[in-house]
Amino acid sequence: MISSSVMSSILPAGVSVCELTGAAKPDRLYPEEEALVSRAVLRRRREFALSRTCARRALADIGVAPLPILSTPDRAPMWPPGVIGSITHCDSYTAAAVCSSRHFLSLGIDAEINQPLPEEVPALISSVTEQLLIRQLPDSSICWDRVLFSAKESIFKAWFPVAKRWLDFRDAEVTIDPLRFTFHAEILVESHLTGPSFDGRFMLHNTHLLTAVWLPHQ
């Protein structure tokens, strides 16, 4: 099981995190939320309910009263005014991280099972340079290609709310520091953001890889 403080350990002070693991039971959805997944398969409905449960509990920790958390047309969560946040879910793990928008411009978190990517995937999500760097990282129990994938997922979640445009996996060039458990990404497309780069942290806990990034106010 993953403790409730694991994701918090790779996020800065001021960010509230709620995590649910294993067979955790989600709270009841609001009718407006139920409508969003009324035609979804059971697994998708459960993931959605768990993510909203985590989000509401994390929001409560920063003083936000319970409310429906709906989605944009792109399925991103719609946070209440003055709040930024990010949600992630994978097998047996769901988390939400939120904070006041006074602290940071955006947040991004991701969780993945610590397994190698399917053989054909690295070439689709990474540059030749990134693939070379991954092969040069030290042998360990960490699947570095999965760290790369997760880092980009976190980056995209933090990027989209402020840039208002999608990123392709190859639009971010990521380097990983295996000793400090950090990563750095340069964004390779033009945007209104100055200094389009991200710094983040990652960790391995049992079977899960966790990554997190946050974008300071410019």
* Residue 2 domain flag: no
How confident is the model over 118-149, as pLDDT tens digits? 999 999 999 999 999 999 999 999 999 999 99
- Is 139 in the same domain as 189? yes
Q: What is the mean pLDDT of residues 8-26?
A: 94
In this model, does residue 3 exceed pLDDT 60?
A: no
- Is 115 in the same domain as 209? yes
Among 65, 86, 104, the domain boundary falls at 104
Q: What pLDDT is attached to residue 195?
A: 59
- Is 122 in the same domain as 54? no
- Is 74 in the same domain as 52? yes
- Is 190 in the same domain as 132? yes
Among 104, 123, 141, the domain boundary falls at 104
How confident is the model over 171-214, as pLDDT tens digits? 999 999 999 999 999 998 876 665 568 899 999 998 999 999 99
- Is 129 in the same domain as 205? yes
With vertex at residue 179, the alpha carbon angle to CA 176 and CA 180, rounded to the nearest 5 degrees, is 75
Q: What is the mean pLDDT of residues 73-96?
A: 94
Q: What pLDDT is attached to residue 2?
A: 44
Strand ranges across the sheet with 106-113? 106-113, 208-215, 197-205, 182-187, 172-177
- Is 125 in the same domain as 202? yes
* Residue 200 domain flag: yes
**Cβ-contact 176, 188 below 8 angstroms:** no
**Tokens 């035609």 belong to residue:** 39
* Residue 20 domain flag: yes
Q: What is the DSSP string of 72-138?
A: -TTS-B-PPTTEEEEEEEETTEEEEEEEETTT-SEEEEEEEES-PPPTTSHHHHS-HHHHHHHHHSP
Neighbours of 38 (CB within 10 A): 8
Round to whole Å and give the CA distance between 202 and 13.
16
**Higher model confidence: residue 87 or residue 1?**
87
* Residue 1 domain flag: no
Q: Which domain holds residue 147?
A: 109-215
- Is 132 in the same domain as 100? no
Q: How far is CA 134 from the centre of its chain?
A: 21
- Is 22 in the same domain as 46? yes
Q: What pLDDT is attached to residue 163?
A: 86
**Tokens 């949600």 belong to residue:** 87
Tell me the whole-structure pTM to 2 decimals: 0.94
- Is 200 in the same domain as 173? yes
In this model, does residue 39 exceed pLDDT 60?
A: yes
How confident is the model over 101-118, as pLDDT tens digits? 999 999 999 999 999 999
Q: How many domains does the chain have?
A: 2
In this model, does residue 1 exceed pLDDT 70?
A: no
